[in-house]
Structure 1
Amino acid sequence: MEKKSSWSTLMRKTLMALSGLFLCFFLVIHLLGNLQLLMPEEQAKESFNNYSQLLSGNIFIKVISYVLYTSIVVHCLDALVITLSNRKTAGKYAFDQRGASSKWYSRNMGILGTLILVFLVFHFKDFWYQYKFGSLPKDEYGHKDLYTIVIAAYQDWWYVLFYVLSMFALGYHLLHGFFSAARTLGVYHPKYVSWIRTFGKGYSYVITIGFAIIPIYIYLTQHM
């Protein structure tokens, strides 16, 4: 029974690692698209709305989006199951001091993950849901004007603050998750550990700063 339980835990961790790595890939694509918001206003509006139209009208992108939604759900559910399982077994190892030497964000992945999940709910409601089901105005090319909706959302300082804090939570989540995924998938080899750590940290910093700077830039430029 214990062997079966260990195998089940390993499978859940592997599934969470794979879904997490897919989400990491998606974040790069999503960031590249959102960086268009930093262009001059007219150019940013045309480029960003064209980008949004491409994502909504391409059948290949639609398939990828369903994989994305599934990955988010699987990742969250696996994280919840593994966290509950770890809590149940925590009391069995009274002399396990690994938690004392681990990073604070590694010990608080549940809190960070919950903040990210709350952010995703707001993010999907304000942008994805509005684009798919809302009555958005059209730009001069006949595309749904998501650019105007995004710019309007980043006029509120509290929303910008919430977004930035969520991105830092995401950054710490990525720092821990990237290394955990590498260990789970067996690629965290001593020969390559320094490269993996450097890449993981660099990736986490770029994603965090890249996403965080967008609402800050929009808020500051719109209020000058």
Structure 2
Amino acid sequence: MKLVWFIKNSITRKNLMALTGLFLCFFLIIHLLGNFQLLLPKEEAQLQYNLYSDFLSNNILVKVISYLLYASILVHTIDSIYLSIKAKKAKGSSYARDKRNRASKWYSRQMMLLGTIVFAFLVIHFKDFWFPYKFGSINSDANGNRDLYSLVVISFQELWYVILYAVAILALGFHLLHGFFSAFRTIGLYNPRYNRIIKMIGVFFSAAITLGYFVIPFYIYLNA
């Protein structure tokens, strides 16, 4: 009973949002490393990327992790909206008249907006790539694997899609810039001795993720 009480009182909505956010940060790294295969020479990139996608699609362990990923996205989004609405209601009319801009960055005050942009893009991203790959009928490559590579390349040959992708990645970068450090602070890892280090890691992580995801669509577009 004591264990149940501890878990119930430890996992608050803020903690849950922080933990799911950190899990999604880990996913961003793995996903980016896999997507870097798109930068290989065309023939090699096609076979390697499709093999990688086939492995992710058919590996049991990866499937279990993917379900955890989908749940984390939904929980993180729902909790962020709930907490943002709750905070605004709690502050009342004074919320619009305060002077938080003197004490915080603009992106830390727009986390809900940035998160909404990212979530909206994820819906589009899933519709354009995940759904056709899982349930649609797409061609196969020379090794017999479904040709997700060609589907990605065709999409990134459209400038409007590249721009849409870039806007979403910028929103993600600013979301991470505040969210990374905030997540560690929320779960209790807050100490003056290493806060500066965590902030520096957060800035580096946000910049690396943003730049990494930025490079891929523009590289494909310019070399199409």
Residue 127 of structure 1, CA deviation: 0.5
Please list, as runs of the form range in 1=range in 2, the aligned pairs for 1:102-121 lying within 5 A after superposition.
Answer: 102-121=104-123
Residue 93 of structure 1, CA deviation: 6.2
Question: Who is 1:144 aligned against?
Answer: 146
The answer on 1:175 being equivalent to 2:184 is no
Question: Who is 1:53 aligned against?
Answer: 54
Letter aligned with residue 137 of structure 2: S
Query: Would the alpha carbon gap of residues 118 and 8 (structure 1) be closer, same or farther in structure 2, given more than 3 Å must change?
Result: farther
The answer on 1:31 being equivalent to 2:32 is yes
Match of 1:207 among 192, 206, 209: 209
1 CA distance for matches of 2:170 and 2:157? 20
For structure 1, list consecutive stretches of 5 or more residues without a partner in the other structure: 1-6
Secondary structure (helix, strand or coil) at the match of 1:91 reads helix
1:164-200 CA-partner distances (Å, limit 9, x unpaired) = 1110100000011111101101112110012101110
Match of 1:101 among 89, 92, 103: 103
Letter aligned with residue 14 of structure 1: N
Letter aligned with residue 208 of structure 2: V
The answer on 1:217 being equivalent to 2:219 is yes
Letter aligned with residue 83 of structure 1: S
Question: Who is 1:76 aligned against?
Answer: 77
For structure 2, list consecutive stretches of 5 or more residues without a partner in the other structure: 1-7
Secondary structure (helix, strand or coil) at the match of 1:188 reads coil
Residue 98 of structure 1, CA deviation: 3.7
Question: Who is 1:87 aligned against?
Answer: 88
Is contact 1:188–1:196 with CA below 8 Å preserved after alignment?
no
Residue 91 of structure 1, CA deviation: 2.4
Is contact 1:21–1:181 with CA below 8 Å preserved after alignment?
yes
2 CA distance for matches of 1:72 and 1:176? 18
Q: Size of the alignment, in residue pairs?
A: 216
Match of 1:127 among 121, 126, 129: 129
2 CA distance for matches of 1:8 and 1:104? 32
Q: Which runs of 4+ in 1 moved over 3 A?
A: 7-10, 92-100
Question: Who is 1:4 aligned against?
Answer: none
Taking only aligned residues, the RMSD between alpha carbons, in angstroms, comes to 1.8
Letter aligned with residue 68 of structure 1: L
1 CA distance for matches of 2:187 and 2:65? 23
Is contact 1:112–1:170 with CA below 8 Å preserved after alignment?
yes
Is contact 1:13–1:184 with CA below 8 Å preserved after alignment?
yes
If the length of structure 2 is used for normalisation, what is the TM-score?
0.92
1:94-150 CA-partner distances (Å, limit 9, x unpaired) = 796445321001111111111111100110000000100110101111100000000
Secondary structure (helix, strand or coil) at the match of 2:223 reads helix
2 CA distance for matches of 1:101 and 1:8? 31
> Is 112-121 or 54-63 further displaced after alignment?
112-121
Q: Among the aligned pairs, what percent are the same residue? A: 53
Question: Who is 2:197 aligned against?
Answer: 195
2 CA distance for matches of 1:194 and 1:111? 26
1 CA distance for matches of 2:223 and 2:101? 44
Secondary structure (helix, strand or coil) at the match of 2:157 reads coil
